[in-house]
Structure 1
Amino acid sequence: MNELLDVLFASLRDGYVQVSTFVAVTILAFGLIQYWTDGAVVGAIENNERLQVLFGGLLGLTPGCGGAIIVMPLYVRGTVSFGTVVATLGATAGDSAFVILALAPEAALYAYAIAFAASVATGYLVDSVGLGVTRVDNAVSQLSPAMADGGTVVNNGVGPNPAHDYGGPSPTHSHESGPDRVSRVLTPLSHLAHVLWWAAALVGLGLGTLYLLRGGPEVPLALGLGFDGLFTIVGISGAVLSLYLYGVGRHYVGEGEVARARDSFGSIYDTLTHAAMETSFVTVWVLVAFLVYEYAVVLTGLDVTAIAATAGVLAPIGGAMVGLIPGCGPQILLASVYAEGGLPFSALSANAIAQDGDALFPLLAVDAKAAIVATIYNFLPAVVVGVALHLLWGPVFGMAQFGFGVL
């Protein structure tokens, strides 16, 4: 029982200090850019047709799913090409990027650079050849004539998308009405928790940075004003506050929902609240991933590294298949296993290309066929690149090895 409690507290602490504090900074930075430019990033994408695929890949490359989610309503409105969607989803690092950036920054640099290059190339190929949803419609029309084109036509440019009504609000911004509940007790309590959360995040960021500068040493669970004690207290406190904000606070503060993008923000506090809620969502999934892995090892003696080692070339294919699952939870779990030395780099790279994170959900809601086609288009290069890394470059550069780039 003591060992199980130690795993719980260590996971709460490490997940917050080593991952969540860096998530907060990244999401806040992106939100501040949107706030200061009043959504100019979106306008730049819409007005530069030839560079849309590249811009989409860059937005997808930003850690988390916020950048990628921004592109989906643009496609629905008919202002970006289908190749842009493919490039954005393929380059999407998702919330799992925060885990790798914090625990294996060198691996993150290589994996996401590879994903970006492969996805942008695929996006331009889709646009240049005309492999948009319209062509897929023509291929399946004999089987299902009733399935109308839901995607932007890509034929020497971006055309209108008649299957959707652009007059209403973007489907990913339905949360702008604010939180869905008001309470004389829980509303001010949630605001207080939000303020305390940012205090913990700032202190935790300093501790997390110092932790990385020290080379990622083992930090014992401790209480006190020393590094170990502050690391433990701030980490567990921040994690508990994150659980509260995600489970309760988001209904009384902010937008009322999480895993959603914003074109712009009305105030600095609004931007801070958005970053805190999105980070809390990531924190919950990180904690789930950490606990699933650690408890599996403790309770079953499971040797994930040995299992992955016997998989051989099937490991990157498996990584790509995990990437087919929408959402960031499974991807965070895979990233955590990699950071623990349980998967080869080729599997991480294949997953980085194949995964779409939370960005796929808004597209699935309004154009399921386009979402499925884009996912398939990204799965194919994910398998090719992953297998190539494993068989060709892996033995030379060490990219087929376990623990490549892990601190």
Structure 2
Amino acid sequence: MPEATTILLESLRDGYVQVSVFVAITVLAFGLVQYLTGGALLRAIEENERLQPALGGLLGLTPGCGGAIVVMPLYLRGTVSFGTVVATLGATAGDSAFVILALAPEAALYAYAIAFAASVATGYLVDSVGLGVSRVDAAVARLSPATADGGTVAGGGAIGPNPAHDYAGESPTHSHETGPDRHSRVLTPLSHLAHVLWWVAAIVGLVLGSLYLLRGGPEVALAVGPGFDGLFTVVGLVGASLSLYLYAVGRHYVGEGTVARARDSFSSVYDTLVHAAMETSFVTVWVLVALAGYEYVVFFTGADVATLAASAGVLAPLGGAVVGLIPGCGPQIVLANVYAEGGLPFSALSANAIAQDGDALFPLLAVDAKAAIIASIYNFLPAVVVGVALHFLWGPVFGMAEFGFGVL
């Protein structure tokens, strides 16, 4: 088999079994909590103002972007503080967390613990000092009164040290049509069947993925047969193919035609399963593109990423933070894979963990780009500070600056 084809098949297989099945379980778990409690979890966050940055950080810390995405509509409704947004986005592990958890679990433990502590501290600082959007608007107004528009603060004025935003009606990222937007005598039942088969593949894939982790992440041959390697390959390729179908076609005939959107509640268990499958299929596309793209770049260019990163020195954590500024999980998944391949130091991984916002930034960008940009800047600064500190101070002492720290 040509090596280029092997790279594609291995990317499809590994992306599904090593990443997507774990995304599915976490998204489904969060959805079931929302369904069973009728939104009680969200109400608890809204009613505990002093704990909001910490609670937001915990939601962001859950692998994937599901927990963090839920917080954004709460801010847009004016029920959580801007510091909570900063803490949530900064602690967001994103979909790249599944790559690190699978390939370098010890590094994931340290990196995301550091990101959680730094982000929650930044969030509380933002709230206590009053560094919300209105404060930035006021500073801009003093520098250039003609260009200041007062932001989107309710009433055009400050409400306490960290004013919340108030929008009229539901935001487009909070309320959306969840049912199918197309109907076909053939594609509708076929898409529902694909959805059911997708969950069968996900359950089997979760078992195989867990065994893969328990075995220490060994090399798995691209094979077909009754053994572990054969099942790993078949389930991975079938699951990846079904994910691509659901994302490209099935979501229009089953439901959740609009993906990467927050949901308050679900009408049934099946509705919850559909949401989890469609969100995971969306993530799977990112994962597959990132994995295959990176492998093809290395294959066709012969680039030695490890050598380039090793020569970067202190620029490595700075680069990790800069990559974290890019919205979405695709670039972060690429960086996670580079780290797992031994191409980046731990300081760069930690800086990226703090700076990245994953898919959670998109809902905020869509409604309040100013708040999204300011939150990203607030998280970029501690990401650089922590990354550089790990490079010069803590890393040499604890060995965390070494390439391949915590990699299986």
Q: Which TM class, normalised by the smaller chain length? A: over 0.9
**Residue 140 of structure 1: aligned partner:** 140
Alignment match, 1:91: 91
Quick check: 1:57–1:119 contact (8 Å CA) kept in 2? yes
Distance in 2 between residues matched to 1:154 and 1:228, nearest whole Å: 60
Letter of the structure 2 residue corresponding to residue 15 of structure 1? G
| 170-179 or 303-312: bigger deviation | 170-179
Q: Over residues 99-156 of structure 1, what are the superposed CA-to-partner deviations in whole Å (9 max), with x where a residue is unaligned? A: 1112211111111111100000000001111111111001111424442222478765
Partner residue of 1:150? 152
Offset of residue 180 of structure 1: 2.2
Q: Which residue of 2 aligns with 1:172?
A: 173
Alignment partner, residue 376 of structure 2:
375
Shift in alpha-carbon separation, 1:201–1:268, aligned structure 2, 3 A: same
Post-superposition shift, 1:48?
0.7
Give the AA of the match of 1:33: V
User: Could you tell me how far 1:332 is from its partner in structure 2?
Assistant: 1.2
1:152-231 paired onto structure 2 within 5 Å: 159=163, 161-162=165-166, 164-165=167-168, 168-231=169-232
| Equivalent residues in 2 for 1:37-76, closer than 5 Å | 37-76=37-76
Stretches of structure 1 that go unaligned for 5 or more consecutive residues are: none
| Structure 1 Cα separation of the partners of residues 159 and 77 of structure 2 | 17
- Is 1:233 the equivalent of 2:234? yes
2:336 partner SS: helix
Percentage identity across paired residues of the two chains: 79
Could you tell me which residue of structure 1 aligns to residue 28 of structure 2?
28
Question: Residues of 1 paired with 2:235 and 2:21: CA distance?
Answer: 11
TM (norm. structure 2) is 0.95
C-alpha displacement of 1:170: 3.4
Aligned ranges for residues 317-336 of structure 1 at < 5 Å? 317-336=318-337
Is the Cα–Cα contact under 8 Å of residues 151 and 367 in structure 1 kept in the other structure?
Answer: no
Q: Deviations over 1:42-75 (max 9, x none)?
A: 1001101111111111111111112111111111
Partner secondary structure for residue 405 of structure 1: coil
Match of 1:356 in 2: 357
Cα shift readout 1:232-267 (whole Å, capped 9, x = no counterpart): 111111111111111111111121121122111111
Runs of 4 or more above 4 Å deviation:
151-160
Counterparts in 2 of 1:102 and 1:254: CA distance versus 1, 3 Å: farther
SS of residue in 1 equivalent to 2:213: helix
- Matching residue's letter, 1:220: A
Task: Give the letter aligned to residue 148 of structure 1.
Answer: G
What residue identity is the alignment partner of 1:342?
Answer: G
Give the Cα–Cα distance (whole angstroms) in 2 for the partners of residues 354 and 160 of structure 1.
Answer: 23
Shift of 1:161: 3.4
Gaps of 5+ in 2: none
Structure 1 residues 177 and 283: alpha-carbon distance in aligned structure 2, compared to 1, 3 A threshold: closer
**AA of the residue aligned to 2:405:** F
Partner Cα distance (1:219, 1:60) in 2: 32
| Corresponding residue number in structure 1 for 2:300 | 299
Per-residue CA deviations over 1:299-340 (Å, capped at 9, x if unaligned) read 111110110000011000000001111111111111111122
In structure 2, relative to structure 1, the CA distance for the partners of 1:59 and 1:358 (3 Å cut) is same
Contact 2:82–2:164 at 8 Å: present in 1 too? no
Asked if 1:311 corresponds to 2:328, the answer is no
Looking at structure 1, the residues matched to 229 and 80 of structure 2 have their Cα atoms a distance apart, in angstroms, of: 50
Comparing 65-74 and 41-50, the one that deviates more: 65-74
Q: How far apart, CA to CA, are the structure 2 residues paired with 1:299 and 1:161?
A: 49
Deviations for 1:72-114, whole angstroms, at most 9, x for unmatched residues? 1111111111111111111111111111112211111111111
Is 2:105 the partner of 1:105? yes
Distance apart, 1:390 and its partner CA = 1.1
Inter-partner Cα distance in structure 2 for 1:271 and 1:340:
36
Distance in 2 (alpha carbons) for counterparts of 1:136 and 1:157: 12
**Aligned pairs, number:** 404
Cα displacement string for residues 8-42 of structure 1 (whole angstroms, at most 9, x for unaligned residues): 11111111111111111111111111111111111
Q: Does structure 2 retain, via aligned residues, the 8 Å contact 1:39–1:264?
A: yes
Distance 1:345 1:127 in 2: 30
- Contact (CA 8 Å) 1:115, 1:352: kept in 2 or not? yes
Say if 1:86 and 1:378, in contact at 8 Å, map to a contact too. yes
Counterpart amino acid of residue 151 in structure 2: D
Deviations 1:179-223 (A, max 9, x none): 322222111111111111111111111111111111111111111
